[in-house]
Amino acid sequence: MLKKLRSSFSKSSSTVGGSTKSLTSAPTPISSTPTPTSSISISKQLNRARSLYNEGKQSYDEENYENSFQSLREAAQIQELSLGKYHKETIQSYWQLGRAACKCAEPMDANNSSIKSKRHTVLQAFQRAARMAEGTFSETEYTSMLQDMKECYQEATFEDLVVVAPICTSGSVSGGSDNQSVSSGISHRSSASHRSSSSHRSNSDENAYRKVHNDPMKHMLKVLELEKSGDGYVKKKNYRKASTIYGQALQLQDVLVGEDSLDGADIRCKLALCFMHTNCQPQARRALQMAYTCFVANVGTEHPATLGAVARMKKIAMSSGTAFSTKSMSIVSVTSVTSSVSGF
């Protein structure tokens, strides 16, 4: 079904609400249970999130898109922790966040030290919503949402701040053999003023980037399809094959939305688990460091996914007899890891 959806969204005119078969199940979640807190605290958080969501919607209707973006982003962050990422309200916030981002001027997050391109900001929000909604929304709701995302993206204007480094590197994923590798794309953000320093990039790299972003809905669904395929191999305990599939998903993921997306971090946690099962502890540790950095930056230290990354890092440290500290996880930046570590 995912292949049919990708095919339909590659066409310039696609219909919504046509008769199709049921969608397949969503990818295996890393964790969807909120951190336990008092009911009063959760109630306050939910009221705050709903108020922010309504403020965001109102600002959008008033064409105050920057305020809309800020309100919706805060609402989504609260809902990630209090409701979980698979809740309909969380999904709705990410969907509307992407719509608001489509209308904002560049650069996004002007007051933030980590400036993302508008294109990546839009697609990260849309992907978060689409990835979680597949197992939550009805088929009609899901297809309608994807169509709306596609139309919003096509109507948006972008100053492309993203340049693409060589697409593929490889590294061993097996315990003692080098005959199996995981490939993954490595993308780097850069301002337009730095474009001249990127003249060494091949035309194939540029073409790959343009191809992905000419039809992002199709490639978002392809990432989801690959992730679910990897999940299937994990269930069969074929961790080497799963790591290869997850690597392919990340190759496309990083070109599509950058290395610092929550969904990319989720997949890296799954990849790390495969590395742990194939006795590749250094690769697992680096994958978890990347995921941890992303989780902390986007959803904080108490989110279940963040705590899950920490727990797995502790397990690796115990198995190797080394000391563990979360400080050692946070000092590794996404860029430094992706530029120095092959395999993911």
Domain edges within the chain:
37-155, 170-185+215-340
Contact 172, 180 (CB under 8 A): yes
pLDDT (0 to 100) of residue 25: 46
Helix (H, G, I), strand (E, B) or coil at 172: strand
Superfamily grouping for domain 170-185+215-340: Tetratricopeptide repeat domain (1.25.40.10)
Q: Which of 174, 289, 338 is nearest to 243 (CA)?
A: 174
Please report, rounded to a whole number, the percentage of residues in the chain having pLDDT higher than 90: 50
pLDDT (0 to 100) of residue 26: 52
pLDDT (0 to 100) of residue 300: 87
pLDDT (0 to 100) of residue 88: 96
Superfamily grouping for domain 37-155: Tetratricopeptide repeat domain (1.25.40.10)
Domains 37-155 and 170-185+215-340 share a fold: yes
pLDDT (0 to 100) of residue 109: 56
What pTM does this model have? 0.72
Residue 116 to residues 96, 127, 140, 203, 270: CA-CA distances in angstroms?
18, 15, 32, 24, 25
- Per-residue pLDDT tens listing for the chain (344 residues): 555 555 554 444 333 333 333 333 455 544 444 444 456 688 899 999 999 999 999 999 999 999 999 999 999 999 998 999 999 999 999 999 999 999 998 755 544 434 468 888 999 999 999 999 998 999 999 999 999 999 999 999 887 544 443 333 333 333 333 333 343 332 333 333 333 333 444 566 677 777 888 888 899 999 999 999 999 999 999 999 999 999 999 999 999 998 889 999 999 999 999 999 999 999 999 999 999 999 998 888 888 899 999 999 998 888 877 666 666 554 343 333 333 333 33
pLDDT (0 to 100) of residue 39: 63
- DSSP per residue over 43-76, as a string? HHHHHHHHHHHHHHHHHHHTT-HHHHHHHHHHHH
